[in-house]
Amino acid sequence: MIPNSELILNPDGSIYHLNLLPDHISDTILTVGDPGRVAQVSRHFDSVEFETTHREFVTHVGYYRGKRLTVLSTGMGTDNIDIVMNELDALVNIDFMARTVRPAEERMSLRIIRLGTSGSLQPDVPIGAMLATEHAVGLDSLMQFYPLMETGLETEVATELQRTLGIPFAPYVVRGSDILREQLGANMVMGNTLTCPGFYGPQGRRLRLDLRTPDYISRLQSFRHQSAEGEFRLSNFEMETAGYYSLGRLLGHEVLSLNAIVANRATGDFAENAAAVVDAMIEQTLQRL
């Protein structure tokens, strides 16, 4: 039995942070960082049957063209993704009454799709582009706490990037769902996404503070790794994807991160209408589900 301190349920039986019951989970889950973006997605639904808010976690459950969907906000950062992925998985793969993990043959694999904003690192990935993440590279510490198994290419990229950046730890590198990327990413830019534990220094932004590595951005932009699979480069910055991909692998869920490019760090520009870029990505994704 999983103790009360580990699997925490609210008085109504919902899970601690997300405030959701197993019935609120559809097999396809759309996630967004910004709580305000949940309604930007669900306004396209035919109907909304359930809404809840707890902290930064806002959820709407409804139907889009007859398909039941759950859309929820995560807030920012992989520390929140640790909560979201563990609680979503618990909602489908733990029996809340018995407080036991369901047997392997009864476990469910969710389709989890992040619809987020992102900053491009490369001049040829322009503002307005939609980018589907192939590999995520985590500069955060989440995978210090889980036994993630990385493949050959993932380990090679992690080792080389650590050397390039001269940092005292290896990033973690994880490939996302090929199935979802083929289904939802057709005609999008394919890229490798750097997940950072912050928006300013960790993404090389300088307002009043200097960076430890003054040429950090150019080291990331020019990073290349050659392998039998071709050339690997880093294309964009954000703050959650590596958490999703690594926990998706560990828990057995299909996960895809889609990125609306709203900033370009190579040219120094920011989108004049970021909401429109996000809207276009939301509409296209809903049509392809």
Interacting residues toward ligand R1P by CB under 6 A: 32-34, 76, 116-117, 199, 238-240
| 216 touches ligand URA (CB under 6 A) | no
| 256 touches ligand URA (CB under 6 A) | no
CB of 14 or CB of 204, closer to ligand R1P: 204
Stretch that binds ligand URA, among 11-19, 61-69, 117-125, 245-253 (CB under 6 A): 117-125
For the chain, the maximum distance between any two Cα atoms, rounded to a whole number of angstroms, is 55
Query: How far apart, in whole angstroms, are the C-alpha atoms of residue 20 and residue 101?
Result: 18
| Residue among 232, 278, 236, 257 nearest 122 (CA) | 236
Chain centre distance of CA 278: 15
Amino acid at 170: A
What is the helix (H) or strand (E) element at residue 120, kind and residue range?
Answer: strand 111-120
Nearest-approach distance from CB 235 to ligand R1P, in angstroms:
14
Amino acid at 23: D
Amino acid at 150: E
Residue number, nearest CB to ligand URA: 119
| 119 touches ligand URA (CB under 6 A) | yes
| 203 touches ligand URA (CB under 6 A) | yes
Q: For the chain, report the end-to-end CA distance as a whole number of angstroms.
A: 37
| 263 touches ligand URA (CB under 6 A) | yes
- Interface residue with ligand URA among 14, 118, 246, 257 (CB under 6 A) is 118
Question: Per-residue string for binding with ligand URA, 222-251, x by CB under 6 A?
Answer: ---------------xxx------------
> What are phi and psi for residue 149, nearest 5 degrees?
-95, 120
* Residues within the interface to ligand URA (CB under 6 A): 117-119, 199, 203, 237-239, 262-263
